[in-house]
Amino acid sequence: MKRFMLRLLVMSLVLGGIVLKGMGFAEEQAAAPVPLKICMLSGSVEYQSDVILPILIEYMKKSYAVDCTLLVWKEDNDLPGLEALSTCDVMLLFTRRLTIEGEQLERVKDYCLSGKPIVGIRTASHAFQNWLELDKLVLGGNYQGHYGSGPVTQVTINPPAKKHPILAGVEDFSSVGSLYQNTPPAADVFILLTGTIPDHSEPVAWTRVFNGGKIFYTSLGHPDDFKNENFLRMVSNALFWVCGREPALLSGATGN
């Protein structure tokens, strides 16, 4: 009888250990952040979006829980894979004067007009030659071309925006890309950053709400900007902010 009771006690301890381990594993699984599903539209040949967007993806994957889908244009009128917009959390737009039509354009329009989260980079202001209304209607911009290349743009934080979550970990920096003309943007935008060259100053990053959805746009996005920690951090923050989420850090990560 004693031997039986001893065996029963041992079995209970073993099974209890297994259960506790299982519970611990479950807790770890539950604590794992839910990845942010990002659908990136790439089609800005002038700025090598097919090359530089993977830099952003690599940067984010080092510290954040993200699931990135990169859609790359094939021709000016062909951007396959847009069905991914129906399941993503946020669309990042970096195309330039594409002429997609039919179902492809309708998918993009439906997404943009439905109040879903959007992050636009540089040429997103003229992302589609046959839907230029996107700039003013959705992004809140007023693209009128750009100043000549040459002067380095000094990028500074707009004082009222210093504590904005998108600018967490971001400091003033410089950009070699030409300064876009966007003055005046929509009255309801909140300007985060200003770009300055001799004799000219323009808003270069802002947020707004359109049809209930959060929008972030920056006219920055020269290939050299993707080498700048401040720019990468800002865009990463923006992707989470437009979704109403805190940046989902991986276990052990402290942010870039």
Q: Is 89:243 a contact under the CB 8 Å cutoff? A: yes
Strands 153-157 and 173-175 turn out to be: antiparallel
Amino acid (one-letter) located at 157:
I
Q: Residue 195 has what pLDDT?
A: 98
Q: Is 202:180 a contact under the CB 8 Å cutoff? A: yes
Q: Residue 249 has what pLDDT?
A: 81
Would residue 23 count as lying in a domain? no
- Residue numbers of the domain that contains 101: 35-143+207-241
Would residue 30 count as lying in a domain? no
Would residue 249 count as lying in a domain? no
Would residue 59 count as lying in a domain? yes
Would residue 89 count as lying in a domain? yes
Q: Residue 169 has what pLDDT?
A: 96
Q: How far apart are CA 207 and CA 218, in angstroms?
A: 9
- Per the omega criterion (within 30 degrees of 0), is the bond before 33 cis? no
Q: Residue 28 has what pLDDT?
A: 47
In three-state secondary structure terms, 165 is: helix
Would residue 112 count as lying in a domain? yes
One pLDDT digit (tens) per residue for the chain, 256 residues: 555 454 544 455 444 554 445 545 444 455 678 999 999 999 999 999 999 999 999 999 999 999 999 999 999 999 999 999 999 999 999 999 999 999 999 999 999 999 999 999 999 999 999 999 999 999 999 999 999 888 899 999 999 999 999 999 999 999 999 999 999 999 999 999 999 999 999 999 999 999 999 999 999 999 999 999 999 999 999 999 999 999 978 776 666 6
Laid out side by side, the sheet with 90-95 consists of: 66-72, 36-43, 90-95, 118-121, 213-218, 200-210, 190-197, 153-157, 173-175
CATH of the domain at 230: 3.40.50.880
Burial 132-146 (b: 16+ CB within 10 A, else e): eebbeebbbbbbeee
> Which DSSP category does 181 fall into?
P
Could you give the number of structural domains in the chain?
1
Q: Is 84:71 a contact under the CB 8 Å cutoff? A: yes
Residue 156 makes CB contacts below 8 A (sequence gap 6+) with: 172, 193, 194, 196
Q: How far apart are CA 123 and CA 180, in angstroms?
A: 10
Distance of CA 206 to the CA centre of its chain: 13
Q: Residue 177 has what pLDDT?
A: 95
Would residue 178 count as lying in a domain? no
Q: Residue 8 has what pLDDT?
A: 47
Q: Is 41:91 a contact under the CB 8 Å cutoff? A: yes
Would residue 180 count as lying in a domain? no
